[in-house]
A and B are shown apart, each in its own frame.
Chain A
Amino acid sequence: MSTADPQPPTTPTAPTTSAPGAHATASWWRRQRRGLLLLPLAMVVALLASSSRVHLFWWPSGPHDRVTGSVGAPVRFAQEWVDKAGTHQRKLTVTVGTPEQTTEHEGLTGGAVQVTPPNGSVLWRIPLTVEADPSVVLFGCKVALIDARGRTFTALDPGLKSGRALKTQQCVPAMQLGPRPVVYQGMSQDQDTLNRPKNYQTFAYVVTAADARPSTVRLWWDYPTVIEVSLTP
């Protein structure tokens, strides 16, 4: 019979590991950590992949790309555009002045024409000072006044009564329209147009409701890029 030393009594100790369920959960998170980290990225990629409709249908159909400026301050504008002759650059600097109410409209061949706006409406004259190379196509410019209530007034057939034909091209002087877009094969860009100076002043005209208080002038050729000039300092 051996006479071994008596063992010290065992003292109870706290368990060193957590419960088996908690351990399994923690290990699952550890095993899946790579996938979990990639999950937000996968969601972003999925959203981007399904966003083609926004680009195809929404973005080009409205004034979503705004070049902003203030009244009386030059605004630089550059836009790539396409016609039947190819791709072009439209580069210009425009200074928009303060619109003022008027009853005179520039005639188709120049000169002032007395006009009568429809009942409940007024005519505004918007001064534009433009600097652009004479070869740049500015024909086809559109102008709108946006009032403090968010109403947009464009210069489409405002129902003005006048004794003479009125100027229709908003951003170029009458009889100095400059080159036009080529809308069919074989047409020359400067067909039937007169030379336009590099620097000029002209007026755009917009009819609004009589109670409209203009807050922004919008000027554009092709959506989505537009110039928006705030009239409030």
Chain B
Amino acid sequence: MSAPAEAPGAERPALPRRANRRQSLGAAALVLVALAVGRFVTDRLPTDELATRPFERHVSVGQAAHLRIGDVTVTQVRGAPEVSTTTQLLTTPGIWLVTDVRLTAASEALGISYAAVRSPDGRTWTAARGGSTCAAPLPGVPMACTVYLDVPPEVLPGAELVLRWNNIDLRNDDQAVIRLDDVTPGKVATWRTATEPILIPPSRTGA
């Protein structure tokens, strides 16, 4: 049995159309509110730079920084205008900051490939001209090695040394930050007058 045909000219009831419009407006309002809440939240979240900054382990000279890659201890800090590696003599009008490091890798042969000096005024000098012999350690076996970098002498008092394994991606991973408390202006002045280069030996595993 067919449904009765609507009479010609008859209008559909107005109420459902109004209800549909109200529903659409309500949905649009909800979307706008959701967008506003999202913006409010994201504006208050840390920026990428802050959220991915490295985890810093602050220690003094002689103290071990327990990093993901293993334990890193700076055992001695020296300085001179010249250093001598196994292949070349390097000189600078500034200071070669030379740090003796004891590295005990945790579970993989990950060494130290990033070194930087951070001065109290927030500037950073990386080891672009320097280097690290702390490479390919044996997990669980201490390695004696050296990290050296070229810096202006005036930034050393009150500075910090930053050491980490990865020099390409500085996000998220942890790093050792060593306070150079003993590096006084008097000590830096003495280093500037040194006439003998500091020797940079190859690393020694099992030291």
Contact = CB atoms under 8 A, between A and B. Distances in A.
A152 B141 contact: no
B205 interface: yes
A161 B15 CA distance: 94
Interface stretch (A43-51, A81-89, A131-139, A204-212): A204-212
B109 A154 contact: yes
Interface stretch (B76-84, B123-131, B132-140): B132-140
Given A150-B107, A152-B108, A159 B205 contact: yes
B141 A118 contact: yes
A212 B204 CA distance: 20
A117 B140 CA distance: 14
A131 B204 CA distance: 38
B109 A209 contact: no
Interface string A142-158: 00000001111110111
A152 B138 contact: no
B139 A209 contact: yes
Contacts of B206: 117-121, 159
A207 B206 CA distance: 12
Interface in B145-159: none
Interface residues of B, number: 16
Contacts of B142: 120
A174 B161 CA distance: 45
A149 B203 CA distance: 25
Interface string A208-227: 11111000000000000000
A150, A151, A156, A207 — which one has the most chain B CB atoms within 10 A of its CB?
A151
Main secondary structure of the interface of A (DSSP, over half): loop
Given A121-B205, A159-B204, A159-B205, A212 B109 contact: no
Please tell me the size bucket of the interface on A: 20 to 34
Interface in A93-121: 117-121
Contacts of A156: 109, 136
Nearest to B107: A151
Contact of B109 (A119, A152, A211): A152
A204 B147 CA distance: 32
Given A157-B136, A209-B141, 20 more contacts: A118-B138, A118-B141, A120-B141, A120-B142, A120-B206, A150-B107, A151-B107, A151-B108, A151-B139, A152-B139, A153-B109, A153-B139, A157-B135, A159-B204, A159-B206, A208-B138, A209-B138, A209-B139, A209-B140, A211-B140
13 contacts: A117-B206, A118-B141, A118-B204, A120-B142, A151-B106, A151-B139, A151-B140, A152-B108, A153-B139, A157-B135, A159-B205, A159-B206, A208-B138
**Which 10 residue pairs across A and B have the least CB separation, nearest first?**
A118-B206, A119-B206, A209-B140, A159-B205, A118-B205, A151-B139, A156-B136, A151-B107, A120-B141, A120-B206
